[in-house]
Amino acid sequence: MRDQPKAADLLEWYDRHARKMPWRVGPAERQSGIMPDPYRIWMSEIMLQQTTVAAVKDYFLRFTERWPTVTDLANARDEDVMGEWAGLGYYARARNLLKCARVVAHELDGVFPDTETGLRDLPGIGPYTAAAVASIAFDRKATVVDGNVERVMARIYDHHTPLPAAKPALTEFADALTPDQRPGDYAQAVMDLGATICTPKNPACGICPWRSACRARIQGTASELPKKTPKKPKPIRLGTVYIARRVDGAYLLERRPDQGLLGGMLGWPGSDWAETAVPDHQLPIRAEWKELPTEARHTFTHFHLRLTVKTALVPMDRKPKQGDFIELADFRPSDLPTVFRKAFYLTKDL
């Protein structure tokens, strides 16, 4: 009879090897009755969407220091939150973060729902995030499946259907293994297993708590899994940004519309981004524009972007047609999305 993976074996491993994270309440603390703050768990899960733990930690600490409660965040100015989020990417998350905080603070008396169903009713919370918050913050039995969990399940069951078609089956496997006892710790344990032992390359099968039950290890196929459907090559889009500096040092910037890519973020005026070069449209201010010899390049989820950067020095009395001047003392490059910071740093040697 082939061994079956047991939640108890994974939890025993997790009790010894749980990763330490600023939002996490460790297994010993949980077993002593200390429960996580739902606000911190929710914020971490929103930040971790399509983003690594290493990239999120500093942002999480800054956010929770500046806005320690959901009410504090709900009362924050949009531009302050978007500025703190700059560089983390996927900016719709920041807009949804504010929307959700305001619903919880102003309509739910600052209390997060403790069920998947209740959490799904909040802005910006989908099936994965609802399951993660319900499980980790409230110890509800919920099936939490991220990329790490998909990889673990594909290997444990030697499942060769490529992703994304394999998602329903892998979710069923994960659901069958989720225990009634300590589901919050279990959810974090299986994610930790994928992040530290059952890694994409060179998995450490010899020290895995589920090694005796892993069908892919037995079959010698672990390194092949999970299989993925090949992605189409990303298209390249082109655009232009205009970096105007006034003689007193102020920079011409604009707040992007709330809807669309980089919505609500501070940025340089510029053209649309298209697969063919867009001729100079209505320039943001009358000036003698100079084109830099180097492009600003950035990759988004669905396309590569190449930006032509044009700069100008303008007199004090010149009025912009687009955007507003921000005094040098109030300008922080860190408030800009990464793509616009890249463009800015190309001008530093001018």
Instruction: Give strand pairing partners of 306.
Output: 238, 297
Instruction: Give strand pairing partners of 241.
Output: 270, 309
Catalytic: 65?
no
Residue 233, judged by CB atoms within 10 A of its CB (0-12, 13-18, 19+), counts as exposed
Nearest to 146 by CA among 20, 56, 49: 49
3-state helix, strand, coil in the chain (%, to 5): 45, 10, 45
Query: What residues contact 173, with CB distance under 8 A and at least 6 apart?
Result: 153, 156, 157, 159
The backbone torsions φ and ψ at residue 61, rounded to the nearest 5 degrees and listed phi first, read: -65, -40
Q: Tokens for 149?
A: 């969990």
* C-alpha span between 98 and 218 (Å, rounded): 48
Q: Which of the residues 45, 84, 116, 150 is marked catalytic?
A: 45
Per the CB < 8 A criterion, the answer to whether 197 and 204 are in contact is yes
Per the CB < 8 A criterion, the answer to whether 297 and 49 are in contact is no
Q: Annotated catalytic sites, by residue?
A: 45
